[in-house]
Amino acid sequence: MLELNGIRKTFHAGTANEVRSLQGVNLNIEPGSFVVVIGTNGSGKSTLLNAVAGTFLVDEGSIKIGGEDVTQWAEHRRAQHIGRVFQNPFSGTAPTLSVAENLALASRRGQARGLGFALAGSHRADMVAAILGLGMGLETRLDNAIGSLSGGQRQALTLLMATWLKPKLLLLDEHTAALDPRSADQVVRITDRIIARDSLTAMMVTHSMQQAVTYGDRLVMMHRGQIIHDVSGAEKRRLRVEDLMARFEEVRRADLLDTSAADLLRARYV
Amino acid sequence: MSLLLGAFIIGLILALVALGVFISFRIYHFPDMTAEGSITLGAAVAAALLVTGHSPLYATLAAAVAGAVAGLITGVLHTRFKINALLSGIIVMTALYSVNLHVMGKSNVPLMNVTTFADQAAKLAAHFGTEKVLLFGREAAVRDLTLLGLSLGLVVLVGVLLYAFFRTHLGLAMRATGDNDQMVRALGSSDGVLLTGGLALSNALVAMAGALLAQYQGFADAQMGIGMLVWGLASVIIGEALVGTNRFGYLLAGAVFGSVLFRLLVAVALRWGLDPNDLKLITAVFVFGALVLPGTFAKLRRRISAPVSGDSRA
């Protein structure tokens, strides 16, 4: 469903602040696969998701969604294939619009928005049914401004909006990181349920090792703009939090032995 | 009485400016300076068409289209060429000053000998058969009342159309753009196009107000746009205070009420001997106060309610 070939992206190229965020990423995701992406800070995992979403255009490589080359497409054009939930609960919803109005916007994702009334009658029953499915008691607040809801509620609604029209690809960028533990748990469970129900193809970036081992059928670990581990099938199911911690420790040690750091250590201690 | 009616009529005409400013400032949070140029543009286009014998309706609609083009250019400067919002508007406003002079051919075009919408209202009023009626115990000119009725009808019509438009799929996406452009892109719409369209709509309304104002006053002038943005903003702020809610329809109505009330206050102040030269200064001070005072009051209230822990420096 998603094919990434040799993706490279460098920010602020040629300046002192040059950051090589993606250094040749290849990834092929099968339809219906739920891929969890982990990695250290600055490893490029969120950048990878943004590259797929089209927040910026990549320097090199190609991106295909459902066989269609979208490498040069603008962000809003790619949205016809992609549903997204962001880390910041405020990013996914329009605060002054009501819950129903936000859902109405999502019901036209990637389609022409004409002059038909957005809240025409028939839609409302679907909205209530979908919101009931969240189990958050929001069905009575359809006409409240979304800005009056909590982060967890807004994130759950963003999820509902992102999947209202079945996307070819669902991108979840640490979408529970800004929530309290209880809401985070609730939102990730809803996520898993929706992905399973609609057999969606999804990529989820997370910092939670627990989420990484519990959810998804494939795990990708990134480091320095590259994929360094790719685990799926039975191996992914056997994965425990300790295994992941061990992998992170490996990466950390490898980093210590890296050229510049090694020089520094040698100068100090040898 | 005629002074009061005049204030009402101008207040209603300028309510279109308030609605335009409401769209740019409140929906998009875009400080659109274009308005200062497009109100004059509307007046200039209408005046130029009226003196060449076109109908008031045609002239007013053409003015609105011209305003829309001005807003479109500002939107393109900002979204395509990434020019700062304020500067995009200032650039277009500055350019419009020359454009307006070219359209009019001189800096002031009198509309005394041509048929304006005000004259059409007078013609309509003649059908009532009487020139004066008693209103609240005072004599009022039927001509003024007819004009007032027409202005009111027009503003209500525009208001209702705007309200309906902002409830459509397209209008909702426009409102969402001001709220959260990231979300609009993630839902597959170009925030740049939606912003540009909104600015075009906003400036179409402002230019239409310019066209009507010129016809009511009986002249179009190159300087008539100065201070109009702050004027519109003052109306929007008064309107928000009047309706006291964030519901969209109320806010639209509030902008209209605000404009009329503000004009009435100004008329009263002028009657009491306010120097007309001070009008813009007072408007500016008023807007400053309206923007700053609510925060200051909230801070004071907190300070009063919170117990001060022992301050030795006192």
Q: Has residue B89 got a pLDDT over 70?
A: yes
> Out of B165, B169, B180, whose CB is closest to A108?
B169
Angle between helices B279-305 and B248-271 (to 10 degrees): 120
pLDDT digits (tens, 9 = 90+) for B90-112: 999 999 999 999 999 999 999 98
> Out of A53, A79, A114, whose CB is closest to B187?
A79
- Kindly list the residues from chain A whose CB atom is less than 8 angstroms away from the CB atom of residue B27: none
User: Which chain A residues touch B if contact means CB-CB below 8 Å?
Assistant: 53, 74-77, 79-80, 82, 84, 86, 90-97, 101-102, 104-106, 108-111, 113-119, 145, 161-162
Position B275 confidence tier, pLDDT thresholds 50, 70, 90: confident
User: What are the strands, taking DSSP E only, across chain A?
Assistant: 2-11, 19-29, 34-39, 60-65, 68-69, 82-85, 169-173, 202-205, 218-223, 226-232
pLDDT digits (tens, 9 = 90+) for B36-71: 999 999 999 999 999 999 999 999 999 999 999 999
- Kindly list the residues from chain B whose CB atom is less than 8 angstroms away from the CB atom of residue A118: 167-169, 171-172
- Kindly list the residues from chain A whose CB atom is less than 8 angstroms away from the CB atom of residue B171: 118
The reply to whether residue B188 touches residue A77, judged by beta carbons under 8 angstroms, is yes
CA dist list (Å): B206 to A9, B42, B45, B121, B178? 45, 8, 13, 22, 19
Q: Where are the domains of chain B?
A: 2-273
Determine the Cα–Cα distance for residues A201 and A217; give it in Å rounded to an integer.
11
Question: Distance of alpha carbon B128 from its chain centroid, rounded?
Answer: 32
- Kindly list the residues from chain B whose CB atom is less than 8 angstroms away from the CB atom of residue A84: 186
Share of chain B above pLDDT 90, in %: 63
Determine the Cα–Cα distance for residues B71 and B61; give it in Å rounded to an integer.
15
Please provide the CATH number assigned to the domain covering B2-273: 1.10.3470
- Kindly list the residues from chain B whose CB atom is less than 8 angstroms away from the CB atom of residue A81: none
Nearest-neighbour CA in chain A from B98: distance (Å): 36
Q: Has residue B127 got a pLDDT over 90?
A: no
The reply to whether residue B167 touches residue A76, judged by beta carbons under 8 angstroms, is no
In the numeric block, the tokens 């454009």 are attached to: B99
pLDDT digits (tens, 9 = 90+) for B282-307: 888 888 888 887 778 778 877 777 65
Q: What is the pLDDT of residue B1?
A: 66
Nearest-neighbour CA in chain A from B226: distance (Å): 32
Residue type at B157 in one-letter notation:
L
Closest CA to B233 of B13, B5, B12, B32: B32
Q: What is the pLDDT of residue A264?
A: 75
Q: Which of A96, A123, A148 to mutate to test the interface with B (most CBs of B within 10 A)?
A: A96
pLDDT digits (tens, 9 = 90+) for B216-227: 999 999 999 888
Q: Has residue B163 got a pLDDT over 90?
A: yes
Determine the Cα–Cα distance for residues A112 and A81; give it in Å rounded to an integer.
14
Determine the Cα–Cα distance for residues A55 and B182; give it in Å rounded to an integer.
10
Q: What is the pLDDT of residue B310?
A: 45
- Kindly list the residues from chain A whose CB atom is less than 8 angstroms away from the CB atom of residue B167: 117-119
Checking ipTM against 0.90, whether it exceeds it is no
pLDDT digits (tens, 9 = 90+) for B164-214: 999 999 999 999 999 999 999 999 999 999 999 999 999 999 999 999 999
The reply to whether residue B190 touches residue A110, judged by beta carbons under 8 angstroms, is no
A&B contacts, CB < 8 Å: 93
Q: Has residue B238 got a pLDDT over 50?
A: yes
Q: Which residues pair with A218 in a beta bridge?
A: A35, A232
Determine the Cα–Cα distance for residues A78 and A46; give it in Å rounded to an integer.
17
* Coil/strand/helix, residue A49: helix
The first and second tokens of residue A249, run together, are 């420790």
Q: Which residue of A has its CA nearest to B176?
A: A94
- DSSP letter at A145? B
The b-or-e profile of A46-77 (16+ CB within 10 A means b, else e) is bbbbbbbbbbeebeebebebeeeebbebebbb
Q: What is the pLDDT of residue B36?
A: 94
The first and second tokens of residue B21, run together, are 């400013």
> Out of B164, B173, B186, whose CB is closest to A113?
B173
Domains and CATH numbers, chain A: 2-93+166-239 (3.40.50.300)
Q: Which of A108, A160, A163 to mutate to test the interface with B (most CBs of B within 10 A)?
A: A108
Residue A169 sits at φ, ψ, to 5 deg, of -145, 130
Nearest-neighbour CA in chain A from B173: distance (Å): 7
CA dist list (Å): B205 to A250, B37, B71, B210, B230? 64, 13, 10, 9, 16
Q: Which of B27, B160, B163, B169 to mutate to test the interface with A (most CBs of A within 10 A)?
A: B169
Q: For residues B248, B254, B255 and B258, what is the CA-based torsion angle, rounded to 10 degrees? A: -160
The reply to whether residue A91 touches residue B182, judged by beta carbons under 8 angstroms, is yes
Nearest-neighbour CA in chain A from B238: distance (Å): 20
- Kindly list the residues from chain A whose CB atom is less than 8 angstroms away from the CB atom of residue B170: 113-115
Widest pairwise Cα distance in chain B: 80
Is the Cβ–Cβ distance between A206 and A1 less than 8 Å? no
The reply to whether residue A117 touches residue B167, judged by beta carbons under 8 angstroms, is yes
Q: Which residue of A has its CA nearest to B184?
A: A76
| Burial class of residue A207 in the structure, from the number of CB atoms within 10 Å of its CB (0-12 exposed, 13-18 middle, 19+ buried) | middle
Per-residue pLDDT of chain A (270 residues; tens, 9 = 90+): 899 998 899 888 888 888 888 888 999 999 999 999 988 888 888 899 999 999 999 999 999 998 899 999 999 999 999 999 999 988 999 999 999 999 999 988 888 888 888 887 767 888 888 888 888 888 888 888 898 898 889 999 999 999 999 999 999 999 998 899 888 999 999 999 999 999 999 999 998 888 888 898 999 999 888 888 888 888 888 888 888 888 888 887 777 666 666 677 778 887
Q: Has residue B313 got a pLDDT over 90?
A: no
The reply to whether residue B246 touches residue A96, judged by beta carbons under 8 angstroms, is yes
Nearest-neighbour CA in chain A from B195: distance (Å): 14
Q: Which residue of A has its CA nearest to B180?
A: A94
The reply to whether residue B188 touches residue A95, judged by beta carbons under 8 angstroms, is no
The reply to whether residue B172 touches residue A75, judged by beta carbons under 8 angstroms, is no
